[in-house]
Structure 1
Amino acid sequence: MTIRNSLRTAGVLATSTLALALTACSADDTSAPQKDRASESRTTAPEPEQPSAPDHTTAPDDVGDRVLAQVTGRDSIVLTITGVERSASGKSVTVAATLENTGTKGFFGISAYGGTDASIKGRMHSLAGATLTDTANSLRYYVLRDTAGGCLCSTALRALKPGETVPVFAQFPAPPDNVRSVDFQLPTFPNATVSLGAAR
């Protein structure tokens, strides 16, 4: 009876051990796929939504469209001043403008804008005749020149067709820092008074 009971006990223990082993394997089998799915979920998750690109349908303000002063000269030519700025060094002032032929005929009088100083190279088709006047101090400034004797201004100007507009510029010595307005004058045009700020 003792041997028989021992065998029976050994069989029960073997059965229990096998059941525990199968349970452990079953637990391992179910946990492994869960880890894989979790990893897959992380790798395939949708990317965070990126902020949309800025809307550029509304164009920024175009400083070229500013009108600081406007005067009409001979043969329906309109001079529009769009910018008057000191240089960063404060030693010069640049006047930016446009010339527009508002008449019905071509304009061939560009040579008048070159002034009368024959020593300026290429003056006949330029803005070499432009001046800047500090009325408060009774000082007049002429267009600056480069080392070759040409003006620091628009050159190689040509006849203006009806309705045509061309951008032009002229650079001058800068008036004192406390001067806040100047008169720009181009031959055949009236004076145009414009504001002059400090250097940027």
Structure 2
Amino acid sequence: MSIPHVRKLRRAATAVILAAGLTLSVAACGGDSGKGEKESSSASSSKPAEDSGKGEGETVPDTSKVLVTIKGDSGIDMVINSAKRDTGGFLTISGQLKNTGSGLYTTPIQWSGEEQAVAGTGRSLAAMTLVDSEAKKRYYVLRDTDNRPLTTSGFDPSIEAGKSLTFFAQFPAPATSTSQVDLQFPGFANATIEIS
């Protein structure tokens, strides 16, 4: 991959992060003024690391639609709620990791991937990949300029029984002619998802 191409990807990733931060800031500052101050402050300060077992966090997928549910190891299910193309050539996958078992589920280290630079940023879902079998291409979670993966990260190492961890993962978008991709993630079977 050429240096100008890498720089362009990094600039685009940085722009996406800044836009997401601005969107979260606007959402945290706006809203119904009739709600209590305590409620609005807790919504604006929520982080995946603090709320991993509560199904809350920075990303709240529209759970009314389910693209696919993938059964994983030891009672953990991955529910994919959306796979949307974003402006700028990105594809964002959103969903939930649900602990349907009766005990505490410890999230595997393999979810963070094997890259040493990414592993140094803490727990993440950087090992998630998408495969476009028609174009014979594999897509990895994007990284920002500090090599942090553009996915939910910093979450607790376990998910309580009956709780879920909401997540997102951002990838380079496949060609516009591609309408579906296969999602691959450690501990789960491959699953085909439709791109909207």
Structure 1 residues not aligned, in runs of 5+: 1-61
TM-score (norm 2): 0.65
Q: Is the 2:113–2:119 Cα contact (8 Å) retained in structure 1?
A: no
The partner residue of 2:137 within 115, 118, 139 is 139
Equivalent of 1:103 in 84, 101, 104: 101
Structure 1 contact 115–123 (Cα < 8 Å) conserved: no
Aligned AA (1:191): N
TM-score (normalised: structure 1): 0.64
SS of residue matched to 1:119: helix
Tell me the residue number matched to 2:92: 94
1:5 is aligned to none
Alignment gaps of 5+ in structure 2: 1-60
Q: Counterpart of 1:114? A: 112
| Residue-by-residue CA offset, 1:112-161 (whole Å, 9 max, x unaligned) | 21121222154551101000110111100000001111000000121100
Q: Are the structure 2 counterparts of residues 75 and 94 from structure 1 closer, same or farther at C-alpha, using a change threshold of 3 Å?
A: same
1:153 aligned residue: 151
Q: Give the direction of change, closer, same or farther, for the CA distance of 1:122–1:192 in structure 2 (3 Å limit).
A: farther
Matched pairs, number: 135
> Which structure has the bigger radius of gyration?
1
Deviation at 1:88, TM superposition (A): 2.0
Aligned partner of residue 105 in structure 2, secondary structure: coil
TM-superposed CA distance for 1:74, in Å, is 1.0
| Aligned pairs for 1:10-29 within 5 A | none
Identity percentage over the alignment? 33
2:131 partner SS: strand
**1:37 alignment counterpart:** none
**Which one of 127, 130, 143 corresponds to residue 129 of structure 1?**
127
| Alpha-carbon separation, structure 1, partners of 2:68 and 2:117 | 30
Amino acid at match of 1:139: K
- Aligned residues: CA RMSD: 1.5
> Deviation of residue 92 (structure 1)?
0.7
SS class of match (2:63)? helix
Q: Indicate the residue corresponding to 1:186 in structure 2.
A: 185
For residue 109 of structure 1, report the CA deviation from its aligned partner.
Answer: 2.7
1:96 and 1:127 mapped to 2: Cα distance?
Answer: 12
- Residues of 2 paired with 1:163 and 1:137: CA distance? 39
Residue 166 of structure 1: CA displacement? Answer: 1.5
> Aligned in 2, Cα 1:102/1:190: closer, same or farther, shift over 3 Å?
same
Structure number with the bigger relative contact order (C-alpha 8 A, sep ≥ 6) is 2
8 Å contact 1:78–1:99 — kept in the other structure?
yes
Query: After TM superposition, which residue ranges in structure 1, 4 or more long, deviate above 3 angstroms?
Result: 121-124
Paired residues of 2:112 and 2:119 also in contact (CA < 8 A): no
- Tell me if the contact between 2:84 and 2:91 (Cα under 8 Å) persists in the aligned partners: yes
